Every structure is written in C-alpha cells, then in structure tokens.
Chains A and B, each alone.
Chain A
Amino acid sequence: MELLAQQLITGIATGGIYACMALAVVMIYQAIHHLNFAQGEMAMFSTFIAWQMLAWGVPYWLVIPLTVAISFVGGVAIERLVIRPLGDAPVLSHIVVFIGLFAILNSLAGFIWDFTIKPFPSPFGEGSQLGGLISNHQIGMIAVTMTVLVMLFAFFQYTRVGLGMRAAAENPESARLVGIRVGWMIALGWGMAAAIGSIAGILIAPIVFLEPNMMLSILLYGFAGAVLGGLTSPTGAVFGGFMVGIIENLAGTYIPVIGGELKLPIALVLIVTVLVFKPTGLFGRTVVQRV
C-alpha cells in the first residue's frame, strides 16, 4: 500500500513536469500548427543558465525568476529570428528547422558546459515528509507546477492578452480584423512556452541530473501527454501529462517486464495507441461548426 502511494506521488510529481512540457508544446502547436521538437532542448539550455547562475553564487530565489525571464526573451527571440521568417513554408521545412534548433542548443550547451553529468540542487532542499513517503522536492514540484498551471489557466481565461492569444491561434485572419497583432501573439506564445519549459527543467534537473540530453526522454513523455490529452486542448495536455506520469510509474513498478528499463517505450506505445484509436486525444475537440 505504501509502495502504491509512493509511486502515485512520484507519478504526480513527474507528471507535473510532463504536463508543463505538454502545455508548452501545445501552446506552440496551436499558434503555428507544428510540433516543436526543440522544446526540450530549450528547457535544458534554460536549466544550464540557472545552474551557471547558481555556480556564480546567485541565491536560488533570484535564480528562478531570472531564468524564467531570460528564457522568455530567448523564446521570443527564437520565434522572431528563426520561425517567423519561415512563414507558411511546408511542414518539412519546419521539421528541419526544429531539428536544427535541437542540434544547435544541444551542442552549444555541451560546448559551453561540457557533457559531464552535473548534480543540480533542489530549490526545496533535501529531506522528506510523512515518514519518507514524499520528499520535499516532490512537494515543491507538485506545488510549483500546480501554481504555474493555475496561473496560466487564469491568464488565458480572464485576461485580454490571453483572449487575444486564443483568438489569434484559432483564427489569425479574423484576429487581424479586430486589430490583434497576431505576429506578436505568436512570439508571446513562444516566450511563454520557453518560460514554462525552464521551470520544468529546473524542477526535473535535481532528479535526472543536469546534462545536455536530460530533456530528451522528458519531452517524449511530454509529447505523449499532449497527444493523449489532445493537441488542440491545453487542458487536455495538462491532464495527459499527469496521466503519463502516473502510468509510467505504476507500470514500471507493477508490471515486471517493464521495470525501470522499459519505461520510455510506454510513452511511445501511448502515442501510437492514441493516434491510432483516437487521433484527437481524450479532450481534443473535433471543431463543432455549422456551415
């Protein structure tokens, strides 16, 4: 029983990270209708920036907002400099650009900070609660991801900029006709996705350790979450992210064949299964429209 509770908690904690990555992916997907394969590497790079600041002795409470801000600017810059000039280029051009971004960020991080695995301190310290059932870091992960997700929900639901971003993603032409600056809304989406990714990176780094390839599997789980929930639904992506975290941990523990080694294929199996049987995902809407 305690094992089950522990695995559930671990699942929810890592699921929060997958939810953040899934949400970042979905935000960009809704704006430009392409999957950003470099989302994970962007997050990894942000985490290295945080690590560097920590190494320079900047206090943790300052490192997090600074990293988020730098990542936001970086995300906007990538959109302006790399994605925007692509315009309506075919899907393969986008994929190649994303792979290019992936490779550039990955090697750049390796070049600057080298490829050795680095420990990354938890912002919430060591130790655990409830007789070792849940670590302080897990509590922190769950609290932070929940806060981020609730804030994002409020932003999109109750602010004018959030409404403008939704309108721009849904119908760019109509959005222009009501005076929304669609290009900047897309750039804003990239900035926010990068910022969310940086938080996910900082939260997961103490668990998987910091190195240039650390986000590879995390992003895969994020994709699985996004596909499971539905690429057209931010809420679905978040739900999917948590589900993937829980499924991954329970399957790893209770299905002997899978164990620790075969966890990653679960993500792939999920992606394939969902795409075959319910391509819109659990929450994805088939757009309701009268003609």
Chain B
Amino acid sequence: MSMLLEVTGLHASYGDFRVLHGLDFSVEKGGISTLLGANGAGKTTTLRALCGMIKRSGSIRFDGKDIGGKATEDIVRLGVAHVPEGRGTFTGLTTEENLQCGAMTRSSSAEIARDLEQAYHWFPRLRERRNQQAGTLSGGEQQMLAIARALMLRPRLMLLDEPSFGLAPLIVQEMFSILRKVNQEQDVAMLIVEQNAGVVLELADNAFVLETGDIVMSGTAAEIRDNETIRAAYLGY
C-alpha cells in the first residue's frame, strides 16, 4: 500500500526547548493512523508541525511532495484538513458560515452546496443550529462542526487532535462511527491523536505510541491493542 503521508526524522521545538526528537511515522492512502500517548508526549505538537504552525525540520512528504517548508495555508490547499485542539470554532460566525469557511479554497459553488447538504446529513444537529452563533453551540456540537468544516475542504488527509476530548461517551461513539463512514465512503485518510486509546484503536489501521517526543512503539492497531504490556505501560487501560 502506498503512503499518503510519510514523515521521517521530524524535529520541532518551542524556542530553545526541543519537543520532538526525530519522529518517523506514516499514513496510508485511505488509511487511518493514530498517535497515542500521555499528556505532554508531543501529540499536538506533531500535528502542528505537520501543518507548518510551528518551526520544524525533517522530511514531511504528502503524496510524494515535500511540504516541510510550506506555509499552513498552502499545505491546507493541498488537501490537508486539520481539526485543531480546542476545535478552532469561529465563535462569532454562524454555524453555516463556519462551514462555508471550510470550503474557502474551493471554487464550484454547486459542489460546495452539495457538500453542505452532505455535512448536514451527517450532523443533523448542525442543520438545526445553522443560523446560530457558533460560539453558543455545546462542546459536542462544536466538535461536530469542526469535523464538518474540515470535510468541506474535500480533504485527502484529516488531522484530528483529540476529537473525543471533553465529550460524553455516547457522543464519542457517534462521532467515531461518522469518522469511519467518512473514511470508507470518501476515501479520506486520517491521522488521529488521542488519549482515549480504546476507542481509536477500534478505528485505526496503524498506531504509533509517543512518549516525550519519541515514538517508542509502532505497529498495526490490532497488535498494539492486543499487547498487554504496551497497554499497561503507555495506554493505561
């Protein structure tokens, strides 16, 4: 299987403080990979480094092209949608305007209108709230909105930063089942950062375990899931 995202020797630092010490990981075309690890392991930093939101070095190849030196906007325009930590809602805009923003880089208004319908089909709650100021949505609704907005880009790769954070278990289940559908029906590859390892390992093909800026373990999701030692040592469930 060919790789959509191939990362080798990824380093990143905040000022003088080095946070990532040469990570190697990859996402297959149409596949789902997950980065697991505790607080402070560098998961969010990894996603931010991929998107050019912080200074980074090392090789980042997306669909064969080196994106390591590109600006965030240009990486997004290649089809990489980042659902950031904290959801990044445009709180002062309406729900629908938020979704429109997601399609800002696309030109065909007919296709955008169709994708908007699709987004409302997946997340019916958002249709009910379409004219409501997005800052007044509940946490779960804002997470749905963030995912729906990312899908409006028609991405080839989605980067999801702790999508389950702060959500009720039932909503987490619903969200992950939608992600699975998106992955299968639209062939969108995903890199999911999670602390909630149990749920995401059900969904992912491959898993990488991150500890203080290094990848200490990698394998198929099933391998990681079935390995008692890893579970006890790193995943804590």
Question: Which chain A residues have a beta carbon within 8 Å of chain B's beta carbons?
Answer: 160, 163-164, 166-167, 170-171, 173-182, 285, 287-290
Q: Which residue, of A166, A288, A290, has the highest number of chain B Cβ atoms within 10 A?
A: A290
- Assuming the contacts A177-B84, A290-B136, asked whether A167 and B90 have C-beta atoms less than 8 A apart, the reply is yes
| Interface CB pairs A-B, < 8 A, 12 | A163-B93, A167-B93, A171-B89, A173-B88, A174-B101, A176-B53, A176-B73, A178-B76, A178-B101, A179-B105, A180-B101, A181-B73
B133 to A174, Cβ gap below 8 A?
no
Q: Which residues of B contact A287 (CB under 8 A)?
A: 91-92, 135
Q: Which residues of B contact A288 (CB under 8 A)?
A: 91, 133, 135-136
Q: Which residue, of B51, B81, B92, B138, has the highest number of chain A Cβ atoms within 10 A?
A: B92
Interface of A, helix, strand, loop or mixed by DSSP? helix
A-B contact count (CB 8 A): 82
Q: Which residues of B contact A174 (CB under 8 A)?
A: 84, 88-90, 101
- Whether B7 is near chain A, meaning CB under 8 Å from some CB there, is no
B84 to A173, Cβ gap below 8 A?
yes
Q: Which residues of B contact A181 (CB under 8 A)?
A: 73
Q: Which residue of A lies closest to B139 (CB)?
A: A290
Q: Which residue of B lies closest to A169 (CB)?
A: B92
- The residues in B between 86 and 135 inclusive whose CB is less than 8 angstroms from any CB of A are 88-93, 97, 100-102, 104-105, 133, 135
State the Cβ distance, A182 to closest chain B Cβ, in Å. Answer: 8
Contact of B104 among A180, A285, A290 (CB under 8 A): A180
Q: Which residues of A contact B152 (CB under 8 A)?
A: 178
In the bound complex, CA of A289 to CA of B91 (Å):
7
In the bound complex, CA of A5 to CA of B103 (Å):
50
The contact string, 1 if C-beta is below 8 Å from chain A, for chain B 45-89, is: 000000101000000000000000000110011000110100011
State the Cβ distance, A5 to closest chain B Cβ, in Å. Answer: 39
In the bound complex, CA of A57 to CA of B73 (Å):
46
Question: Which chain B residues have a beta carbon within 8 Å of chain A's beta carbons?
Answer: 51, 53, 72-73, 76-77, 81-82, 84, 88-93, 97, 100-102, 104-105, 133, 135-139, 142, 149, 152-153
Contact of A160 among B82, B90, B100 (CB under 8 A): B100
In the bound complex, CA of A276 to CA of B97 (Å):
34
- Assuming the contacts A288-B135, A289-B135, asked whether A177 and B93 have C-beta atoms less than 8 A apart, the reply is no
In the bound complex, CA of A182 to CA of B71 (Å):
11
In the bound complex, CA of A179 to CA of B71 (Å):
10
Contact of A177 among B88, B97, B133, B137 (CB under 8 A): B88
Q: Which residue, of A167, A178, A285, has the highest number of chain B Cβ atoms within 10 A?
A: A178
Contact of A173 among B53, B142, B153 (CB under 8 A): B53
In the bound complex, CA of A170 to CA of B134 (Å):
12
In the bound complex, CA of A67 to CA of B89 (Å):
38
B138 to A290, Cβ gap below 8 A?
yes
State the Cβ distance, B148 to closest chain A Cβ, in Å. Answer: 12
In the bound complex, CA of A175 to CA of B76 (Å):
11
B72 to A177, Cβ gap below 8 A?
yes
Given contacts A163-B104, A174-B84, A290-B142, 8 further A-B contacts (CB under 8 A): A164-B104, A166-B90, A167-B93, A175-B90, A179-B73, A181-B73, A287-B135, A290-B136
